[in-house]
Amino acid sequence: MQKSYSRLLGIVGKPNTGKSTFFSASTLVLVEIASYPFTTIKPNRGIGYVRTPCVHEEFNVKDNPVNSLCLEGVRLIPVEFIDCAGLVPNAWQGRGLGNQFLDEIRKADALIHIIDASGGTDSEGRLCRIGEHDPLGDVKFLEYEITMWMANILKRDWPKIARTVESESRDLYSMLEERLSGLAIKRGHIFEAVRRAGLKADKPTAWSEDDYLKFVDTLRQIAKPMLIVANKIDIPTAEENLERLKKLNYLVVPCCSEAELALRRAAEKQLIDYRPGDCNFKITKPEKLTESQTRALETIREKILLKFGSTGVQDAVNMAFSKLLNMITVYPVEDLEHLADHNGRVLPDAYLVPYGTTARQLAYIIHTELGESFIYAVEARERKRVGEDHILKDRDVISIVSAKKRA
Ligand SMILES: Nc1nc2c(ncn2[C@@H]2O[C@H](COP(=O)(O)OP(=O)(O)OP(=O)(O)O)[C@@H](O)[C@H]2O)c(=O)[nH]1
Ligand SMILES: [Mg+2]
């Protein structure tokens, strides 16, 4: 399986909303889960999967996955997750686990904000009467904390950067990219943030305090795109809040992390047939389940799967990749005839790449040498020869022809 994962997803939110439950359900890493705040104090890291229909059925071949898994037609591509400690108001100033928490999301490419949609935990994550807390406030709170944290990181150097841009005619984007490189923030993110905030990149000393904050807030939205998981959807008060959350400017996924965790664990023990994200499951070993386990599974089927179509965990992960990061799946192969690598393994790898990736860029992602010696590529579906600038489509199977005769 590949060692470096293309993207890191941060699982964030206030304490006690189900972040570790969501993480464990996605990765099957055993972590501490409990109904009080700050159960997690050190971040957990693990490997989960993006789910996509595998192309092997369409091409009518049997595959031998190497960098990913294929479960009966479902290709699971590994991605890395980080389960963060809970964040409380004014964390950016160091409250709670404050800056320590925030530092954990430095490397995250996208954020999954786990919300207790039932309104059963207050703004600090303490249990309260179900429905008492308004989860809409949790959205604004997290936006504010992350923006202020970023603004604070940059604040000390900002006056100097702004002056240098003007006095030495330096490029603001490059200077900021260098300063923010540890936060997985790229030049393109900065360029877009300045543009969207309607500011002038060559006159940063003229930016007001409000302009500066507007820029950082826009940069957060671009560089740390976020979706909302309306968790604990099994609790009756959650449904009304779900409808209200949907009116915000976010992708919102109804979710029951606890149900996904139960299903994944049962599937791991081969008690049920269930692939992450399935809309139903089949009990395979009824004799090994206790009466209460069977009842719990049937409740999940009836109250979650049949009602919402899935538990929501896998949908959230998939959406983070397809909608927040605009990523597609491509299958590079060496031997076009057999859709195989040089060891004869059919459709061995599935790569997640950003939409807009060209054939040559894919070659570089596979191997620098392959990128350098690229001649042309062949798209397997239509058996069409394509040039270096050809933009790849989702589920493309592509063979790269290079001067080095690799791939
Ligand atoms: N009803 C219900 N409870 C859930 C769900 N997901 C998690 N919980 C419960 O919520 C509580 C908190 O879960 P954790 O996963 O520890 O929450 P956390 O956000 O990681 O908490 P901290 O690490 O303290 O920030 C536990 O009692 C979980 O069993 C869900 O989908 N439905
Ligand atoms: Mg936790």
Q: What is the pLDDT of residue 33?
A: 87
Q: What is the pLDDT of residue 5?
A: 60
Task: Determine the Cα–Cα distance for residues 283 and 272; give it in Å rounded to an integer.
Answer: 4
Task: Determine the Cα–Cα distance for residues 205 and 190; give it in Å rounded to an integer.
Answer: 17
Cα(16) to centroid(ligand 1), Å? 5
Cα(154) to centroid(ligand 1), Å? 34
Task: Determine the Cα–Cα distance for residues 5 and 79; give it in Å rounded to an integer.
Answer: 5
- What is the number of the ligand closest to the CA of 19? 1
Cα(43) to centroid(ligand 2), Å? 8
| Ligand 1 atom having least distance to the Cα of 16 | 21
CB 311 within 8 A of CB 279: no
Cα(28) to centroid(ligand 2), Å? 14
Q: What is the pLDDT of residue 212?
A: 97
Within 6 A (CB) of ligand 1 lie: 15-21, 33-35, 37-40, 86, 231-232, 234-235, 256-258
- Tens digit of each residue's pLDDT, the chain (407 residues): 344 567 999 999 999 999 999 999 999 888 888 888 888 888 899 999 999 999 999 999 999 999 999 999 999 999 999 999 899 888 888 777 667 777 788 899 999 999 999 999 999 999 999 999 999 999 999 999 999 999 999 999 999 999 999 999 999 999 999 999 889 899 999 999 999 999 999 999 999 999 999 999 999 999 999 999 999 999 999 999 999 999 999 999 999 999 999 999 999 999 999 999 999 999 999 999 999 999 999 999 999 999 999 999 999 999 999 999 999 999 999 999 999 999 999 999 999 999 999 999 999 999 999 999 999 999 999 999 999 999 999 999 999 999 975 44
Q: Hey, which of 16, 41, 114, 116 would you mutate to test ligand 1's pocket, going by the most ligand atoms within 8 Å of its Cβ?
A: 16
Give the pair of three-digit tokens for residue 284. 């395979």
Task: Determine the Cα–Cα distance for residues 298 and 280; give it in Å rounded to an integer.
Answer: 10
Give the pair of three-digit tokens for residue 198. 């309607």
| Ligand 1 atom having least distance to the Cα of 118 | 1
Q: Hey, which of 258, 261, 310 would you mutate to test ligand 1's pocket, going by the most ligand atoms within 8 Å of its Cβ?
A: 258
- What is the number of the ligand closest to the CA of 112? 1
Name the residue with the closest Cα to ligand 1, atom 11.
35
Q: Which value, to the nearest 10 degrees, does the dihedral of the CA atoms of residues 256, 258, 261, 267 take?
A: -80
| Ligand 1 atom having least distance to the Cα of 40 | 23
Q: What is the pLDDT of residue 30?
A: 80
Cα(22) to centroid(ligand 2), Å? 9
Give burial (CB, 10 Å; 0-12/13-18/19+) of 190: buried
pTM for the model: 0.95
Q: What is the pLDDT of residue 98?
A: 62
Task: Determine the Cα–Cα distance for residues 317 and 49; give it in Å rounded to an integer.
Answer: 8
Cα(44) to centroid(ligand 2), Å? 9
SS (H, E, C) the chain: CCCCCCCEEEEECCCCCCHHHHHHHHHCCCCCCCCCCCCCCCCEEEEEEEEEECCCCCCCCCCCCCCCEEECCEEEEEEEEEECCCCCCCHHHCCCCHHHHHHHCCCCCEEEEEEECCCCECCCCCECCCCCCCCHHHHHHHHHHHHHHHHHHHHCCHHHHHHHHHHCCCCHHHHHHHHCHHHCCCHHHHHHHHHHCCCCCCCHHHCCHHHHHHHHHHHHHHHCCEEEEEECCCCCCHHHHHHHHCCCCCCEEECCHHHHHHHHHHHHCCCEECCCCCCCCEECCHHHCCHHHHHHHHHHHHHHHHHHCCCCHHHHHHHHHHHHCCEEEEEEECECCCCECCCCCECCCCEEEECCCEHHHHHHHHCHHHHHCEEEEEECCCCEEECCCCECCCCEEEEEEECCCCC
